[in-house]
Amino acid sequence: MENKKIKLPSLTVQILIGAVLGMALGLIIGEPMKNVKFLGDIFINLVMMAIYPMVMTAIARSFAENTGGNVGKMSAKTFKWIIIFTFISAMIGLALGTLIKPGAGIEVAAAAEAAEITQPNLIQTITGFVPNNVFAAMSNGNMVQLIVFSIMFGIAAGKIKEKTGNDNLVQWIKSVNETTMYIITEIVMKIAPIGIFAMLANVAATTGVAVIFTALKFLACLWIGDIIQFLLYFPAAAARCGVSPLKMPAKFAKMSFLAVTTTSSSVVLPTKIEDEVTKFGVSRKVADFTGPITASMNSCGAVNCYVIVILFAAQATGIQLSWTQIGLSILLAAMMCMGTITVPGGVVGTLTTLVVSMGLPVEAIALCIGIDWFSGQARTLMNVDVDVLVGMLVSKELGEFDKDVYNGVKTVTYD
């Protein structure tokens, strides 16, 4: 008889099953389920093993590939709008996380048991952004210093390619990035359902039914954040471009559906660029330039989510963050968006790095990871739609925005 391979559900479904089973058994069985926590610890250790080279090379790659001919008027305008949207989204996340307090009512670890967070002043914090020894920064897990080094290294690699025509260094950066991304998304993520099961079984056994209400509060924060951003960004971008925002929902429908169902900015990228040109009136030149850059660096939905996750972790552990630490967490969340969110599953490493960098226990985000597919929908939807707004605004400022295409008076094709 021929052996038939059993077709397993997708990784996303497996993680959801692991999360639900973990919470259910933790609630039903209780205390004994805390003994499986070590499996979750192994999973997190595997993620952390590759996260630093992955983040460093992702950021270096983004900057290395966007120097030279791409640096100029269009680049400056693109990054200007990326920074503006990212800052506003981070502030919205801060406000929602502070008002709704999604982590309140669930105690993952007592404040005294959580890692102690130092209270540096502003000058010390800013000075600490710059590493004097990148290897020491890697050893100590100082992600901000590693990001600063990666940006400078990426720019330098791009300049070498531009001046000499030799792209060996850029190709090496890409190879390391793809290798580490493969390790995390293809190998480590295979055991993610087990890791998430173990972590949430421990959390549910410790906190009880509050874990379900907490998950709903967290997701509510994200979707409320999306609604607020849509209400702010759509009318503002439309007004600046001199068009009606009422036409936007129908134009966004196709790419928004893809964003929600795939939770991947990379998958949506071709559709997004084509729709920018054929539906939104963005010039082909601007769409081709801003599309890939915004896919990896404009992450309004992600930064909104990351800020809420940090506040969630602090609230769940009873730790009071200072304003300096909150400012640092916002900056770190924004920097972590660069080139690290375009594939489903990669957010596990990002969230882990964020809470570890802030001195918070990883256990605090087990619930956030377990329901990541749902939060990924909110993140990707916002990321993709705002990418288009950046394209519209840049095209308008360069005098290349076509109102007739936007209004449906003229038809163009992307070819």
> Which residues are CB-neighbours of 363 under 8 A, at least 6 positions away?
37, 40, 108, 109, 199, 202, 203
Select from 94, 327, 287, 50 the least CA-distant residue to 188. Answer: 50
The string of pLDDT tens digits covering residues 83-110 is 899 999 999 999 999 999 988 776 665 4
Phi, psi angles (nearest 5°) of residue 9: -65, 165
Report the range out of 262-276, 312-326, 383-397 with the highest average pLDDT.
383-397
Rounded Cα–Cα distance for residues 64 and 170 (Å): 7
pTM: 0.70
Residue ranges and CATH numbers for the domains of the chain are 11-406 (1.10.3860.10)
Query: Tokens in use for 320?
Result: 């009071």
- Count of alpha carbons within 13 Å of 104, Cβ hemisphere only? 6
Q: Return the exposure string of 140-169: e unless at least 16 CB atoms fall within 10 Å of the residue's CB, then b.
A: eebbbbbbbbbbebbbebbebbeeeeebeb
pLDDT category of residue 123 using cuts at 50, 70 and 90: low
Phi, psi angles (nearest 5°) of residue 107: -105, 105
Query: Tokens in use for 162?
Result: 């531009």
Rounded Cα–Cα distance for residues 55 and 53 (Å): 6
Note the Cα 372 to chain centre separation in Å. 11
Rounded Cα–Cα distance for residues 191 and 193 (Å): 6
Q: What is the dihedral of CA 170, 172, 178, 183, to 10 degrees?
A: -150
Rounded Cα–Cα distance for residues 41 and 23 (Å): 17
What does DSSP assign to residue 33? G
The string of pLDDT tens digits covering residues 13-30 is 787 788 889 888 988 888
Whether the pLDDT of residue 37 is over 90: the answer is no
Rounded Cα–Cα distance for residues 98 and 189 (Å): 32
The string of pLDDT tens digits covering residues 311-354 is 988 888 888 887 877 887 787 777 766 555 444 455 666 777 77
Name which residue leads in pLDDT, 383 or 334. 383
Name which residue leads in pLDDT, 399 or 9. 399
